[in-house]
Amino acid sequence: MEVHPPKAGKKGGIKNPSFKVLANNTNSQINIHIPYGGVFPSLAKREHLRNLPILLEKTLREANSPSPSRRGLERGCVDLITVTYGPGLEPSLWTGIVFAKELAEKWKVPLIPVNHMEGHIFSVFINKNRKKFPISNVKFPILSLLISGGHTELVLSKKWMQYEIIGETVDDAVGEAFDKVARMLGLPYPGGPEISKLAEEERKKIKNLPFSLSRPMLHSKDLNFSFSGLKTAVLYLIRDLGGLENINEKTKMQIALEFENAAIECLVHKTQKALEKYKIKTLIVAGGVSANQHLQNEMKNIISKKIKILFPKKDLTGDNSIMIGIAGYFNYIKNKKKVPKLTSIKATGNLRL
């Protein structure tokens, strides 16, 4: 992805930025990992190594930069490179970091390491035409609910680039729970969208379900979440119904619906508690699970007129380079005098905000 921020003047900086996305490309590995029911680390690393040069060449061409020559990829109009350094699978993170370091050294431009979760926070600000960055009217404090396959956390921000995790999962992330329950129901990977598809179809037909699932930690005094017990409850329910081989399609849809209801209720309830406790003025909901339509509807129902709620566009809910580019740009303009040395940038699988 290549982002073209404005030159210094009336627009620019943190207070009034304006962006134009010149090119954006992604290579999905979903089909490769389907047989494994999830991401297989060594395959992910191999695909990154193979596709990074191809994607960069394509992106530079689309951005009208000079085409790569036989001598190697040319710098063109690139002034800054950003790269994810965590959290995530370290073998895959290292492939991106090493590639970015080589380019930064060759092109003599700064390289800014970006926290993947910070990227998700900034993903909500890209509008439909991807030419503006509507951030100037955002009011603090901001609460971010970051929900994906690897993370479920509530993050409080009282100013830009300042984060405090005030709640998080104590075991499985909600996206991970969706995928595991989908696997129990014999649904293909990635499971989240498949669960939601079945649940939404059944939600239109039924008002009262024949069974219910627990809502772990729903009434705990803290703002933490737990989804491992909910996942186990689904496992026991399937067992008590005679096993997956004895469950018809209608019952499968009902299980999907009740699981989604339970998971979303936990997310919404704790978010509402945080909104009230910290007198939040802006709510950001981001990450892969933020694309869930039931979640979006329920979140909108708890928001007062005084609170602005922001979701990313659907194609920016998952991992993408646009959000990393923008988060990196903000980090750069805030810390121009403290650009890290290339040797100090390392993959950090358990990185936190």
Residue 135: the pLDDT is 75
| β partners of residue 143 | 156, 283
Task: Give the global pTM.
Answer: 0.90
Residue 184: the pLDDT is 97
* Domain 2-126+316-344 shares a fold with domain 142-311: yes
Whole-angstrom CA distances from 45 to 95, 121, 322 are: 7, 25, 21
Residue 29: the pLDDT is 54
User: In percent, how much of the chain has pLDDT > 90?
Assistant: 67
| β partners of residue 284 | 144, 310
Residues 160, 122: Cα–Cα separation, whole Å: 10
pLDDT over 90 at 127, yes or no: no
Among 214, 199, 146, residue whose Cα is nearest residue 174: 146
| β partners of residue 295 | none
Looking at domain 2-126+316-344, its CATH architecture is 2-Layer Sandwich (3.30)
**Averaged pLDDT, 185-201:** 93
Distance of CA 69 to the CA centre of its chain: 35
Domain boundaries, the chain: 2-126+316-344, 142-311
**Averaged pLDDT, 243-247:** 96
The more confident residue out of 38 and 71 is 38
Whole-angstrom CA distances from 7 to 13, 122, 178, 310 are: 9, 20, 44, 27
Average model confidence (pLDDT) across the chain: 88
Residues 275, 154: Cα–Cα separation, whole Å: 10
| β partners of residue 154 | 145, 167
Could you please state the CATH topology (level 3) that the domain comprising 142-311 is classified under: Nucleotidyltransferase; domain 5 (3.30.420)
pLDDT over 80 at 240, yes or no: yes
**Averaged pLDDT, 151-175:** 97
Among 194, 111, 120, residue whose Cα is nearest residue 153: 120
pLDDT over 80 at 145, yes or no: yes
Among 283, 290, 321, 318, residue whose Cα is nearest residue 304: 283
Most confident residue range from 130-144, 167-181, 195-209:
167-181
